Amino acid sequence: MKLIVDTQCWLWMNAAPDRLRPSTRALLERATTQPLLSAASAWEIAIKTALGKLQLPDSPSEYVRERLRRTRTVPLPITHEHALGVADLPPLHRDPFDRLLVSQALIEGLPILTADSQLTAYDIDTIDA
């Protein structure tokens, strides 16, 4: 099963896995689960670190690269189709990073692992963190 992991949940996977439900941790530990991290999330991590809103033990590039490997998370690139798909979304969520994740989920036909209840308003499958 492939799933997009939103930024907050991916950070929890790495730094605070107990914040995730036991069933969610079990899902992520299955060999058949393939978590994906959008380039939008890497961008969000880089921006929040630069603004001092997120503290990491390493530089964002080192942290993301190493944690992708450790968690078997596959990078999900942003295509023009993903970016332009945001224009077709109803204005249910204001966060541009989350809106891009929703567009990717719709286009790729994948669920999003999230703790953000606002994302459930979109016509996508979500997995509660």
Bridge partners, 36 (sequence order): 4, 74
Residue 14 sits in a domain of what CATH number? 3.40.50.1010
Q: Write down the pTM of the prediction.
A: 0.95
- For 79, the domain range is 2-128
50, 40, 33, 17: CA torsion to nearest 10:
30
Q: How many domains does the chain have?
A: 1
Intra-chain end-to-end CA distance of the chain, in Å:
16
Are the C-beta atoms of 128 and 115 separated by less than 8 Å? yes
Reported as a single tens digit per residue, the pLDDT across 38-96 is: 999 999 999 999 999 999 999 999 999 999 999 999 999 999 999 999 999 999 989 99
